């Protein structure tokens, strides 16, 4: 079998290491096989093709949930979703190809040099994937086996943990070549990182105030349907109330839980309708309580025409008072704005989410102080949580992060993958993450990255829990992605030196 096709199959198999399948040992085994294929490559071109095939297989299988999103766009055929998955994967696979090419280029005659170079190049290329062209760092290698890798990320971050997984795969490859020395050398390095990282993320055993996370089980097929807003409001209200009229102290609703604008700068009539929506939602909170909900803000310079909109999180107090608002900063192409709108609109393509107005991006992470007993809350809307090192305001560290999302159009594979990446962010920062989604998976994630409580996919329900306390700032929280980048460069340089020394 040609190396490219073999790499394609191995990459496809490695995708089953991610959630929801979760066969995480497949990842280091697949990376071990990738090392062998790169080692056998006869040229730089062949090694690039091997890395590209590996990435293509992994992304096409792992990102299959993107195709599901297209089934909710009536203007486009469903099969176009798979075309989008393949096209996106063709681009994303460039980054594993670069890592494989660098490893081959500097390996010399020494297998250990290839191991070091690949382990060093991988976090660097994953970082590039998360930053280039707005970035799409979905499913880093560290997201496979998150209950293990979350112990590493407080120290070396997600990209550094990916390097550790690649290095483990390389060690297995060398063991298969009857050379156990790399694995023996790997363990004294990895174990202190796990122990130190885990300890850095463990918070105190007690907890803050009472919260209620609401999951109404409203599917994408119903969410924007004409006349459904009343039924949605009813479901949210029923789930938000406790027996005998008792109220939870802090309510947390999903992204765009309220589909009509909660702030509208147009006419008096539009502003009155927005006030009605806020008042109706806030009727569920009492004195000193808050509702945190996803909603829309509409902008208008002249008070009549819409100039733009924001996908937002509103902090509502009693009577519908707006305590604060966070506008999503990292918008989803084709979901929240249409790139090259004049061209794509002319050929019949439109956004996957309803609406002709593109959302405007907000200024970035924001922290709002809710006072006792919850403290400061930071916000990340939907897939913003996947961007390592970009989820908190470093100048005003929050006590917890609220991450409402709408995973209802991401099929069966998207929601658990999204949850795994939220776990990595919690562990990196030492800050609990609270997720509320319309169809699941909603969860309370502790500061160590462990899921404390969760609601299953496609289930209506609530989570009543105490808000976990944050931990001390982790090493990653202090220095950010400079740590995994330095680690990557150090490993790559070590591979280069070893390869040239033994040449």
Is the confidence at residue 73, as pLDDT, over 80?
Answer: no
pLDDT average, residue stretch 85-99: 96
pLDDT of 177 reads 78
Distance of CA 222 to the CA centre of its chain: 25
pLDDT of 201 reads 45
Is the confidence at residue 330, as pLDDT, over 90?
Answer: no
Which is higher by pLDDT, 176 or 130?
A: 130
Alpha-carbon span 168 to 87, nearest angstrom: 30
Please report which confidence band the pLDDT of residue 288 belongs to, taking 50, 70 and 90 as the band edges: confident
pTM: 0.91
Q: What's the token pair of residue 47?
A: 């090694």
Is the confidence at residue 103, as pLDDT, over 60?
Answer: yes
Q: What's the token pair of residue 314?
A: 């509103």
Domains and CATH numbers, the chain: 3-202+480-501 (no CATH), 207-257+277-295+312-329+364-470 (3.60.110.10)
Within 10 angstroms of residue 66's Cβ, the number of other Cβ atoms is 24
User: Minimal CA–CA distance to 81: which of 336, 301, 411?
Assistant: 411
Provide the percentage of residues in the chain whose pLDDT is more than 70: 86
Listed in sequence order, the residues at least 6 apart from 403 whose beta carbon sits closer than 8 Å to its beta carbon are: 379, 380, 381, 382, 384, 385, 422, 433, 434, 435, 436
Enumerate the active-site residues. 255, 328, 382
pLDDT average, residue stretch 7-12: 97
Alpha-carbon span 211 to 336, nearest angstrom: 29
Lowest mean pLDDT among 12-26, 67-81, 197-211, 468-482: 197-211
Burial of 226 (0-12, 13-18, 19+ CB in 10 A): exposed
- Per-residue pLDDT reduced to its tens digit, 335-362: 666 665 555 554 455 555 555 677 888 8
Alpha-carbon span 250 to 289, nearest angstrom: 6
Is the confidence at residue 82, as pLDDT, over 80?
Answer: yes
Is the confidence at residue 21, as pLDDT, over 90?
Answer: yes
Please report which confidence band the pLDDT of residue 233 belongs to, taking 50, 70 and 90 as the band edges: confident
The rounded mean pLDDT for the chain is 87
Q: Is 373 helix (H, G, I), strand (E, B) or coil?
A: coil
Q: What's the token pair of residue 426?
A: 């919690």
Is the confidence at residue 419, as pLDDT, over 80?
Answer: yes
pLDDT of 56 reads 98
- Per-residue pLDDT reduced to its tens digit, 352-397: 555 567 788 889 999 999 998 889 999 999 999 999 999 999 999 9
């Amino acid at each position: 079998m040609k190396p490219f096709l073999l790499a394609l199959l191995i990459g496809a198999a490695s995708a089953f290491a991610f959630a929801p399948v979760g066969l995480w040992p497949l990842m280091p085994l697949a990376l071990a096989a990738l090392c062998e294929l790169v080692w056998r490559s006869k040229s730089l071109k062949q090694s690039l093709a091997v890395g590209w095939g590996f990435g293509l297989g992994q992304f096409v299988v792992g990102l299959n949930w993107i195709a599901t999103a297209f089934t909710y766009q009536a203007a486009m055929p469903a099969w176009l979703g798979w075309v989008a998955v393949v096209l996106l994967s063709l681009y994303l696979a460039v980054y594993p190809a670069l890592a494989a090419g660098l490893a081959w280029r500097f390996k010399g005659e020494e297998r250990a040099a290839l191991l070091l170079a690949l382990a060093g190049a991988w976090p660097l290329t994953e970082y590039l994937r998360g930053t280039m062209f707005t970035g799409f760092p979905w499913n880093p290698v560290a997201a496979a086996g998150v209950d293990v890798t979350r112990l590493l990320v407080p120290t070396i971050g997600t990209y550094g943990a990916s390097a550790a997984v690649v290095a483990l795969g390389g060690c297995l490859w060398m063991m298969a070549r009857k050379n156990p020395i790399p694995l023996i050398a790997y363990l004294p390095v990895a174990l202190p990182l796990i122990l130190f990282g885990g300890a850095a993320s463990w918070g105190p055993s007690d907890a803050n105030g009472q919260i209620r996370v609401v999951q109404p089980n409203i599917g994408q097929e119903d969410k924007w349907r004409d006349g459904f807003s009343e039924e949605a409001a009813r479901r949210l209200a029923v789930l938000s109330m406790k027996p005998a009229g008792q109220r939870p102290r802090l309510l947390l609703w999903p992204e765009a839980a309220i589909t009509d604008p909660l702030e509208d700068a147009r006419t008096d009539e539009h502003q009155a309708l927005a006030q009605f929506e806020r008042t109706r939602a806030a009727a569920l909170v009492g004195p000193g309580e808050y509702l945190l909900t996803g909603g829309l803000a509409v902008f208008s310079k002249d008070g009549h025409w819409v100039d733009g909109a924001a996908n937002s999180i509103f902090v509502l107090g009693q009577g519908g008072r707006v305590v604060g608002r966070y506008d999503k900063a990292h918008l989803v192409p084709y979901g929240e704005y249409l790139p090259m709108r004049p061209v794509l609109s002319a050929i019949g393509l439109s956004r996957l989410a309803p609406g002709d107005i593109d959302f405007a991006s907000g200024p970035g992470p924001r922290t709002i102080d809710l006072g006792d007993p919850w403290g400061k809350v930071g916000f990340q809307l939907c897939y913003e949580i996947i961007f390592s090192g970009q989820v908190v305001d470093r100048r005003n560290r929050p006590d917890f992060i609220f991450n409402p999302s709408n995973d209802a159009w991401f099929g069966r594979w998207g929601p658990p993958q999204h949850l795994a990446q939220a776990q990595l962010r919690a562990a990196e920062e030492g800050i609990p993450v609270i997720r509320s989604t319309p169809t699941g998976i909603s969860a309370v994630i502790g500061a160590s990255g462990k899921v404390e409580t969760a609601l299953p996919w496609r289930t209506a329900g609530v989570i009543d829990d105490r808000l976990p306390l944050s931990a001390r700032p982790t090493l990653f929280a202090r220095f950010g992605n400079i740590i995994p980048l330095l680690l990557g460069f150090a490993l790559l340089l070590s591979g280069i030196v070893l390869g040239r020394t033994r040449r």
